[in-house]
Amino acid sequence: MAPRSAIPSNLYSSPPDFDALAESYPPLKPHVFLNATGKPSINFKDIDAQRRLTEALLYRDFGLSLALPDGRLCPTRRLNYVRWIQSLVRSVRPWESDVTPDLVLGLDIGTGASAIYPLLSCAVEPLWRIVATDIDEISLEYARKNVNENDLSARVDIRRSSVEGPILHPLTDAALPIFDFTMCNPPFYSSAEDIVQSASAKDFDPHAVCTGSDIEMITPGGEVAFVQKILEESLSLKHRCRWFTSLLGKLTSVASMVDRFRETKIDNYAITEFVQGHTRRWAVGWSFGAVRLPDRIAHPTSSVLNSASPLPTTLHQHYPTPATVESLFSSLYAVLNDIDGVSYITKDPSNPDDINNGGNVPSDPGSERVLVSVGQNTWSRAARRRKQLSAPTTSLQSSVPSDLHVAEHASFWKCEISVEHSPPRHGAHGPTEFVLSVQWRVGASRGDFESFWSHVTRKVGAKLAGDPGDRKRS
């Protein structure tokens, strides 16, 4: 069995070696046969074969054992959702000020009989704890059995929900710390007729069999209504969870959720897409916090969802030669030093101890990040005009904290600036370029972030060009 840290994120991107898998998990052996091409396979439309396959993969790859009752969902293709949340948590926590050390707390809504998400989460992340809920007594019974069988009762708390009660009720438990995330695989369908229509439209994997019960697959209004109920409840529990997330089974549901985000003025949201075999699924996430996700986590790769995607948090500015790494960083530092209310530190990611305040210029692009803290807008024409008309005040430079955590002040925000090589944009014979890139990390005002970046890149460009009038122009 592979060490948990060695499990690749694309573990199930290709079919397994069924013969080898059956050797590691003998109950699978009776279901393995040679298909028409002479390769070992199983009948994916056979419920028993699908259950044994799931058991075998969990046992081989994670050391997990699983008991499933008849008539309940057999979990498949679940790791990618856990991996996405893992990336989200790792991106957010370094920038939060109120994290509980050595503890990541999640809520799994509708955990099912398998409790698959708590089991996988605990297998890949040793510091995670999960509160898992369900409304079905059979599912709750087996979920507890699976948690106990895998010695995870100290890390997974199974709780009963009710159809009439709130979905997010564990978030109101004052004995629990702030949750880092919620996750949910909601009932996809609004009725039995909806299931039939979706099957005919091939929303189901045509190469597999559906093993779920009505209570797991059907809810009034379908998945959009269910997830929107989570969203409505989250509006009054904003600061009890850093990120709310859910899977979605239909592409149209993504647009419906984004419409609701925009209606409720939620601009800090994320979309991703999971493609595995013949199945395509999506996930959405939203947050009321100030920490922003990188585009690689918050943006789907499919262009179909471009109009629904959040605005980018990573921006780039190209500078052609004769710009160099040294000249770019020197110009950047000079520009930052000229802005009141801004502090920064530089850090070489390859050397955790190498942090200095406006220190040495790196020799290699990409080897250094400039972590910028901004107290308020002091760079715009309007801000400078106000300053000229007001009485002299102490500079904000020393009042802006240089640590990486979120400040309480609403206008406070942070970004990360780096320099990277860029291939010629105009063919192989074009000039080599360097790119100044910024990653928005913390903040509520997108307008201030974009205004700051526009000011910085313009001033850096002027300094690189040796423009003597740069200081005089605003």
Give the residue from 85, 74, 65 showing the smallest Cα distance to 150.
65
User: What is the C-alpha to C-alpha distance for residues 56 and 136, in angstroms, rounded to an integer?
Assistant: 26
- State yes or no: 83 annotated in a binding site: no
| Counts for the chain of helices (H) and strands (E), in that order | 13, 15
For residue 366 the two structure tokens come to 């990409």
110 marked ligand binding residue:
yes
CA pseudo-torsion sign 279, 33, 113, 84: negative
Give me the DSSP letters along 131-197: EEEES-HHHHHHHHHHHHHTT-TTTEEEEE--SSS-TTGGGG-TTS--EEEEEE----BSSHHHHHH
80 is in an annotated binding site: no
CB 433 within 8 A of CB 318: yes
Whole-angstrom distance, CA of residue 365 vs CA of residue 419: 5
Bridge partners (DSSP) listed for residue 347 = 355, 369
From residue 380, give the alpha-carbon distance in Å to each of 122, 324, 337, 387.
48, 28, 15, 11
384 marked as part of a ligand binding site: no
Which residues are documented as binding site for S-adenosyl-L-methionine?
A: 78, 110, 134, 185
